[in-house]
């Protein structure tokens, strides 16, 4: 079977889509972009959708990045975790919280590192990722804590970054 290879870092076809991605990414195409650009339509839609999730949602950045990191850990998407764990920390997470997430699937996971709301977010993302269905009591708790807008945004972030992690793992993009 043929292997999908990353397009070159200076790939520029189609120019308008590559320019839009570079603008959102701060000037460069990352490995994910260089894989997605095998299908310009997918790359363009991806750029718009994930740009909206990252830049136009109003959920607290720390909760947004927590959700992304939890998805990455649960799906063994090392590239995704490497990309988002520094952003999680920049948004206010401690070094211990970042390190703690690496133990999420073990008996050594320490939920006391996280607030009650953060524990609910972790449980919610875990349910969405593993079970698809989320317990009503957990949704109710998050609705009360976040309100409808931020709960919808959390669902979209968790669902969207499950797509990211699954694409990364399937295409063989892992952290070095």
Q: What is the pLDDT of residue 1?
A: 39
Q: What is the pLDDT of residue 3?
A: 82
The tens digit of pLDDT for each residue in 66-95 reads 999 999 999 999 999 999 999 999 999 999
Q: What is the pLDDT of residue 82?
A: 97
| 3-state DSSP of 120-140 | HHHHHHHHHHHHCCCCHHHHH
Residues in the chain: 176
CATH level 2 (architecture), domain 61-171? Up-down Bundle (1.20)
Tens digits of pLDDT across the chain (176 residues):
358 899 999 999 999 999 999 999 999 999 999 999 999 999 999 999 999 999 999 999 999 999 999 999 999 999 999 999 999 999 999 999 999 999 999 999 999 999 999 999 999 999 999 999 999 999 999 999 999 999 999 999 999 999 999 999 999 999 98
Q: What is the pLDDT of residue 2?
A: 59
| pTM of the complete model beyond 0.75 | yes
* Domain boundaries defined on the chain: 15-55, 61-171
Cis peptide, bond prior to residue 150, ω within 30 of zero:
no
Q: What is the pLDDT of residue 176?
A: 80
- Compute CA distances 147 → 69, 103, 135, 143, 161, whole Å: 22, 29, 17, 5, 21
């Amino acid at each position: 079977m043929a292997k999908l290879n990353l397009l070159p870092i200076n790939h520029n076809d189609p120019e308008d889509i590559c320019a839009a991605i570079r603008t959102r990414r701060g000037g460069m195409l990352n490995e994910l972009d260089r894989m997605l650009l095998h299908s310009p339509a997918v790359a363009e839609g991806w750029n718009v959708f994930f740009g909206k999730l990252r830049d136009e949602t109003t959920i607290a950045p720390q909760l947004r990045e927590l959700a992304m990191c939890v998805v990455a850990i649960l799906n063994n998407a090392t590239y995704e975790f490497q990309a988002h764990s520094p952003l999680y920390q920049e948004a206010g997470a401690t070094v211990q919280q970042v390190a703690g997430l690496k133990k999420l699937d073990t008996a050594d996971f320490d939920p006391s590192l996280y607030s009650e709301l953060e524990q609910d977010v972790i449980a919610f993302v875990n349910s969405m990722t593993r079970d698809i269905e989320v317990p009503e009591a957990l949704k109710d708790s998050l609705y009360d804590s976040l309100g409808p807008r931020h709960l919808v945004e959390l669902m979209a972030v968790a669902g969207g970054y499950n797509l990211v992690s699954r694409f990364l793992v399937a295409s063989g993009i892992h952290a070095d």
